Amino acid sequence: MSDYELLSNIVGYVDAVAAKAELEKAGTDFSEEKGKVGQIINALHPKRLHLSVTDIRTETATTNTIRLQAVDGRELPPFQAGQYINLFVEIDGVQTARPYAIASSPAQREYYDLTIKKADGGYVSHYLVDQLKVGHVINSSGPMGSFHHNPVFHGDDLVFLAGGSGSVPARSMVLNIIDQRLPHRFHLVYSNSYVDDVIYAEELRDLVTDSNQFSLTEIITRPPAGYQGMSGRLTAECLKGILGVEASNMANKMYYICGPTPFNDNCFSILTSLGVPPRRIRIEANGAPKRPDQQPGWPEGVSLGEEVTVTVKGQGSFRTTVGEPLLNALERHGYGAENACRSGECSLCRIKLVKGQVFNPQEAHLRKSDKAFNWIYSCVAFPLGDIEVQL
């Protein structure tokens, strides 16, 4: 495949090449194009979007799909199936943000669908599900994230292992394949605790009927009496049976994993035990760990409930607990940092640790330079004692 054929898969590339050729014929110095590059970049990668809630659909007792359209009626920026936007909200005077995967197909840009499930002990998710109404206006980032389907490099045999609301980016991928008539096979292995937890239940089953490219396996880990479907925890033998392949052929597929952290860890262990190389496995980040004290390197004698003082250099200080992610604590007390993934990957919430120690869990993808100069990712950093930071 030539470079042109490869790059032609990028939206807008062919049109850009054609426009450049026409300008060259006219002998232009391109001065008439001044400023257009910045305008295009801002349209494709805006720092903020102003969105209006135009529809709310109930999926389960704890889950809603919220449809968002641009306040000015314009097309929304393009995205890759599987990416997310970061919603900015103010709740009881606290300004915060949370990332949510886009559930709709990238083939249309009139709206974004976000499917939001109330998290146990959650803060923002409960507000969005219980209080957001049609007509409300909300701000967000543009689409972002490295967890997405790449039709050029990921091959055409795809398997998605989803737990709970992990089906949200899977829905976007399936719809994109169908809408764009891509020559891909997509098998969704979808695990939930209870039958009433299944998001998009009827829609996914209908898609199986309507498309020979899409396969669905549903697993209930806590089935009711008399349940006839597949149940129990996903295992290596179970997955081989579901996919109908020998272990030697497992590595020929591309795998996506999205769900609660224990689910993600279990799926990764299963795949690697079956000989799937890590480069064939994509895992969606899932926020700060709820039990960082159970990870390697956690110091003995430090409890999650222990109180500490956080000083923001030149601005003030407050009390929090060891077990609260630093970014959450900062926001609750009127401080903050630019953020997006809140999972230790994007580095937007990076701040400088001036004094004290924090625990950086395995989710914190710190660079060598960060470690050398005491930069930390506040969304997944846990203060181990009194600390001072610079925003």
Confidence band (pLDDT; 50, 70, 90) for 344?
confident
Res 35: pLDDT: 63
Partnered with residue 256 across adjacent β-strands are 160, 282
Res 66: pLDDT: 98
Res 201: pLDDT: 94
Would you call 226 helix, strand, or coil by DSSP? coil
Mean pLDDT within 271-296: 90
- Stretch among 3-17, 93-107, 320-334, 368-382 having the lowest mean pLDDT: 3-17
Confidence band (pLDDT; 50, 70, 90) for 259?
very high
- Stretch among 21-25, 92-96, 294-298, 331-335 having the lowest mean pLDDT: 21-25
- Stretch among 2-6, 92-96, 146-150, 172-176 having the lowest mean pLDDT: 2-6
Mean pLDDT within 315-340: 93
- Stretch among 101-105, 133-137, 150-154, 317-321 having the lowest mean pLDDT: 150-154
Partnered with residue 188 across adjacent β-strands are 160, 216
Whether 325 and 381 have beta carbons less than 8 Å apart is answered as yes
Confidence band (pLDDT; 50, 70, 90) for 345?
confident
Mean pLDDT within 330-357: 91
Q: Which residue has the higher pLDDT, 290 or 30?
A: 290
DSSP state of 338: -
In the chain, the amino acid numbered 225 is A
Supply the mean pLDDT for the chain: 90
For tokens 């669908």, what's the residue?
Answer: 113
CA distance 348 to 350: 6
Tell me the H-state helices in 211-356.
236-243, 261-273, 326-332
Mean pLDDT within 120-142: 92
Radius of gyration of the chain (CA): 23
Q: Which residue has the higher pLDDT, 154 or 326?
A: 326
CA distance 45 to 147: 17
Whether 181 and 107 have beta carbons less than 8 Å apart is answered as no
171 has a pLDDT exceeding 80: yes
For β-strands 387-390 and 307-312, DSSP reports them as: parallel
Q: Tell the burial category of 134 from Cβ atoms under 10 Å away from its Cβ (0-12, 13-18, 19+).
A: exposed
Confidence band (pLDDT; 50, 70, 90) for 1?
low
Q: Where is mean pLDDT largest: 23-27, 253-257, 262-266? A: 253-257
Whether 256 and 149 have beta carbons less than 8 Å apart is answered as yes
CA distance 367 to 375: 9
For β-strands 230-231 and 214-220, DSSP reports them as: parallel
Res 8: pLDDT: 75
Res 152: pLDDT: 80
Res 363: pLDDT: 87
Tell me the H-state helices in the chain.
3-7, 13-25, 36-44, 124-130, 167-179, 201-210, 236-243, 261-273, 326-332, 368-372
CA distance 201 to 180: 23
Mean pLDDT within 206-219: 92
Whether 239 and 212 have beta carbons less than 8 Å apart is answered as no
Res 54: pLDDT: 97
Give CA 327 to chain center in angstroms: 18
Domains of the chain: 3-34 (no CATH), 49-140 (2.40.30.10), 157-283 (3.40.50.80), 292-390 (3.10.20.30)
Q: What percent of the chain has pLDDT over 90?
A: 69
Confidence band (pLDDT; 50, 70, 90) for 103?
very high
Would you call 60 helix, strand, or coil by DSSP? strand
